[in-house]
Structure 1
């Protein structure tokens, strides 16, 4: 069997710059494409560098990531990069190989935060992911001496002691949670279109990584989510919600009507910390701070429900631009990290409002068209038309659309219309 030839990194006089954010699927695809061509690049995380992000928005007129530059030449996003003809690509590669970085090239941080975009195999041994657990086990004190058949054996333990230690040790569940997050990102990046809108369910179901992910979901029953911080809960439950929708669609097939959707979102669930959380429990109980859903009579969790400890203290409206119900009109699917989740959600909201599916402004008619998401969860955005429009205005990126909304708001009453919502399944085929 022939071995794959290693990718040889090319020497560049100039610079390829990729502006990205963690969990962005199209960023992942773009980086893989450059790496497979052996092209080194500088990656700038726009979440960690908001000033630079605003400069890139001003330069490109685009809110989305990635944005890719060859020296001072703006290529665009991942789709633009993939669509380059071989002739166009060769010219760009020749440019960065032979021409130094010009003065008008886009900015990068002065600090050492930027990362070289070529993956190299490490020559040192990688520490086993469960090594720290083994050390904890050795230091736990349960390893001692045991009499077996009237003979004393040193450095042994009973099965009962091991089981009790495993049940009590939260690191096991936490480790599985981290692994699941990595698997989710891998599955999303490989089987979701670059715009985050469509899922190739058939190919995902056949991927061994999906089976591995399913196996790890059984370990969620040992995870105590009540101890998670607000940011950890946001990232964990948003990612888990989107993955559970996909998992449910693969195992049960996507719902086709309102009744099937009601049943789907109330029955598809994971066992987390010994408690069952359905999709509606995650969205309305946890992420919306235990608020009633659009079709619910009561709050998801009663005052005595132990799952209430997992709920956010207050509703976070920005989750509505991260959760995907598995249908066409939902926001794109991304993966979120606890460290940067607030900034990532803000960027997702701005991108959603910037597109016509999320928000439209008609100055002549004094009308604002908004996604049905704003109608279904109006209470989360203030509860009144006035507060809703104010929220939208505050979360629009500086743009002609924002200027138009400011103009009609300054001239009296504004009519809100809600745009059609496509409940068709987001299946790629």
Structure 2
């Protein structure tokens, strides 16, 4: 009986420590993003001069444990971990004009996160897209380029995640993510919708249906869809 009590106490302490680490990660990420992001642009130059706060956050992220069964914490952690790792990758090579200027930026460079040595592509495609059928990830995972949806100046948090995913998707769909020519019934969208087409269609819906789900001014009738070139220039202030 005593051994059972000790074991339960041990588990309680472990769970409490892990939760505390996760909360610390979210809090420090939120402070960091508020200090270094404005209007979707990142102060890479300032961060490069003193990356200590970013490195501290990513060091905390190394030891965090998250399970996809706890979807809100899992998704919020990996979205923030992705965005912060993109910043880390860019300042490690700063000054740099584009993430594509660094060979293997997305598929070869690894980051130590949640007990894994993992690439940015692995986070996006294996840990998020492959586990959850949610096209809204494309509007919160920011690749460090102007062509991406803008990085917000706050952390994604489990309690607010649903609202944040919706908000960023609506901002993109009602903003620069699409260009509408009402006279010719033509709509141009970001190449994200071309590269990941399958994420935006299904259940009888096409890309226009997805757009209309999140767009204030609906696209009525038939529209010709095309894609405008992606801008890979770094999203610096």
- Same fold per superposition (TM over 0.5): yes
Q: Which has the higher contact order (CA 8 A, sep 6+)?
A: 2
- TM-score, with structure 2 as normaliser: 0.84
Map 1:100-111; keep pairs closer than 5 Å.
Answer: none
The alpha-carbon distance between structure 1 residues 257 and 320, as it changes in their structure 2 partners (threshold 3 A), is closer
Distance 1:321 1:393 in 2: 16
1:238 and 2:76 correspond: no
- TM-score, with structure 1 as normaliser: 0.48
Map 1:1-20; keep pairs closer than 5 Å.
Answer: none
| Residue aligned with 1:263, SS | coil
| Residue aligned with 2:187, SS | strand
Q: Paired residue for 1:321, among 134, 139, 145?
A: 139
Post-superposition offset of 1:173:
3.8
CA RMSD between the two structures: 2.8
Post-superposition offset of 1:393:
1.0
CA contact (8 A) 1:173 1:219 kept: no
The alpha-carbon distance between structure 1 residues 344 and 257, as it changes in their structure 2 partners (threshold 3 A), is closer
CA contact (8 A) 1:369 1:416 kept: yes
Map 1:127-206; keep pairs closer than 5 Å.
Answer: 169-193=14-38, 195-196=39-40, 198-206=41-49
| Residue aligned with 2:150, SS | coil
Map 1:56-67; keep pairs closer than 5 Å.
Answer: none
Distance 1:363 1:214 in 2: 48
Post-superposition offset of 1:257:
7.1
Distance 1:242 1:257 in 2: 13
1:158-206 per-residue CA deviation (whole Å, 9 max, x = no partner) reads xxxxxxx79x92433432222222222222111222x12x211121234
Q: Determine the structure 2 residue equivalent to 1:395.
A: 214
Q: Determine the structure 2 residue equivalent to 1:279.
A: 120
1:26-58 per-residue CA deviation (whole Å, 9 max, x = no partner) reads xxxxxxxxxxxxxxxxxxxxxxxxxxxxxxxxx
CA contact (8 A) 1:241 1:323 kept: yes
Unaligned 5+ segments in structure 1 are 1-138, 142-164, 290-311
Q: Paired residue for 1:226, among 46, 67, 70?
A: 67
CA contact (8 A) 2:97 2:233 kept: no
1:405-425 per-residue CA deviation (whole Å, 9 max, x = no partner) reads 11x33xxxx211112321111
Q: Determine the structure 2 residue equivalent to 1:331.
A: 149
CA contact (8 A) 2:81 2:113 kept: no
1:379 and 2:198 correspond: yes
CA contact (8 A) 2:93 2:102 kept: no
CA contact (8 A) 1:224 1:272 kept: no
Q: Determine the structure 2 residue equivalent to 1:348.
A: 168
Distance 2:227 2:55 in 1: 38
Unaligned 5+ segments in structure 2 are none
Distance 1:172 1:212 in 2: 21
